[in-house]
Amino acid sequence: MDRIRNPFSPGAGSPPPELAGRDGILEQAQVLFGRIRARRPEKSLLMTGLRGVGKTVLLNEMERMAQSEGYRTILVEAHENKSLAVLLVPHLRRLLFDLDRIAGAGNKVRRGIAVLKSFIGGIRVNIGDVEFGLDIEPERGAADSGDLEVDLPNLFTAVAEAAEERGAAVAILIDEIQYFSSSELSALIMAMHKMQQRQLPLVLIGAGLPILPGLAGESKSYAERLFNFPDIGPLPEPDAAKALKDPIEAAGEAIEQDALHEIFRLTKGYPYFLQEWGYQAWNHATASPISLQDVQTTTELVTQRLDENFFRVRFDRLTPREKQYLRTMAELGAGPHRTSDIADTMGVKITTLGPVRASLIKKGMVYSPSHGAMACTVPLFDEFMRRAIPRFER
Ligand SMILES: Nc1ncnc2c1ncn2[C@@H]1O[C@H](COP(=O)(O)OP(=O)(O)O)[C@@H](O)[C@H]1O
Ligand SMILES: [Mg+2]
């Protein structure tokens, strides 16, 4: 069928033609934005889920919602090797400068800038040339203790008070939150605790791999009180069918029921895979409606494309030892698996596996869904590992 009119959009963060099955979570965000603007308490959101379930797409959608509710927004993506402070400073600076341009009485915006300068002085890292232009001195002692758990709450307070003074509200959206260190996460949590205590108009929305199991003690209990942790998962069959069928019909074409069912069987409803199968099935069908046979003949091609693009990039970043660990997990099935079972299957003592587990977690390949358990962050990665390394050897 005509490739130019193909409605599907496989790719990280690409908006799908039909955002299926996410009404509940979007409504939750809508209520959150409305309530915080009205100075009513509401839990912020940390969306967690595996790769390719649509977290980034939701985050982008929520940024749009926030903007249409009149929020000032900041959207950033965390990285393995970039600190939270370095990530946020340029955006907070821009935000404060924008607020400075809104007419209004008071000096909270200038104070916000002074506190941001103090914060920059405290973090002692090079953040490049953050040119301020304004003749404002850093407010000594405001946010420069060097302890992020103290400084970040003070900085957020100053920013939110500046926004409040100009009748604005702020939404900070952060993708890939699992890359933050536990001290950065707990600083964020403490900062949001302060927002809630003072009923300041600042909302945090995060997305990433599950982080709660990694938090400990006080941070964990605060986090549970301050945030909702909606689990973003694969789509149930009716939503998966809608995600495929509606865009095809909107383009004036059709797909048969058993074709939809087969795609669901193969993808298990994971959004990224739905887009990929939909895209290829459309391209390779000779005529509408797309049939079961069309799906079956494209499956090999889709698998190959996923192996080359989605899976292979991750595989290529692994050391031989890491590959062996993941191949062992794959041998055990889809997971999650007990770390002791993994060690037994590898034929080694569990204590020797700490380092390889830590490096796989750091690379975002595995996470711990509960104490003593490991799971892969990429859906269907076990099937890929068995294709990539057909013979299991311990
Ligand atoms: N609700 C949905 N329905 C259909 N496709 C979706 C949905 N959410 C996301 N997708 C598609 O899934 C793919 C992955 O989305 P993305 O937001 O990058 O996932 P994540 O950030 O969780 O890794 C994209 O191609 C996107 O178009
Ligand atoms: Mg993403």
Ligand 1 pocket residue status of 233, Cβ below 6 Å = no
Give yes or no for residue 24 having a pLDDT over 80.
yes
**Cα three-residue angle 219-220-222, rounded to 5 degrees:** 65
Cis bond before residue 289 (omega within 30° of 0)? yes
**3-state secondary structure (DSSP) of residue 208:** strand
- Residue 120 Cβ inside 6 Å of ligand 1? The answer reads no
Distance 209 CA to ligand 2 centre (A): 9
Can you give the pLDDT at residue 122? 76
Number of other residues whose CB lies within 10 A of the CB of residue 306: 21
Distance CA 145, CA 264 (A): 53
Q: How many whole angstroms from 391 Cα to the centroid of ligand 2?
A: 32
Q: If DSSP codes are grouped into helix, strand and coil, which group holds residue 293?
A: helix
What is the residue type of 199?
Answer: Q
Is the CB of 26 within 6 Å of ligand 1?
no
Q: Can you tell me which atom of ligand 1 is nearest the CA of 14?
A: 27
Task: Give the Cα separation of 322 and 193 in Å (integer).
Answer: 38
**Whether the predicted pLDDT of 313 surpasses 90:** no
Tens digits of per-residue pLDDT, 350-388? Answer: 999 999 999 998 888 898 888 899 999 988 889 999 999
pLDDT digits (tens, 9 = 90+) for 198-213: 999 999 999 998 776 6
Measured CA to CA, the distance from residue 382 to residue 326 in angstroms comes to 8
- pLDDT at position 286: 93
Helix 271-284 and helix 237-250, axial crossing angle in degrees, nearest 10? 40
Q: Is the CB of 245 under 6 A from ligand 1?
A: no
Rounded Cα gap, residues 154 and 276, in angstroms: 45
pLDDT grade, residue 130 (50/70/90)?
Answer: low
For residue 392, what are the contacts with CB-CB under 8 A and spacing of at least 6? 327, 328, 330, 331
User: Is residue 196 lining ligand 1, measured as CB closer than 6 Å?
Assistant: no
pTM comes to 0.91
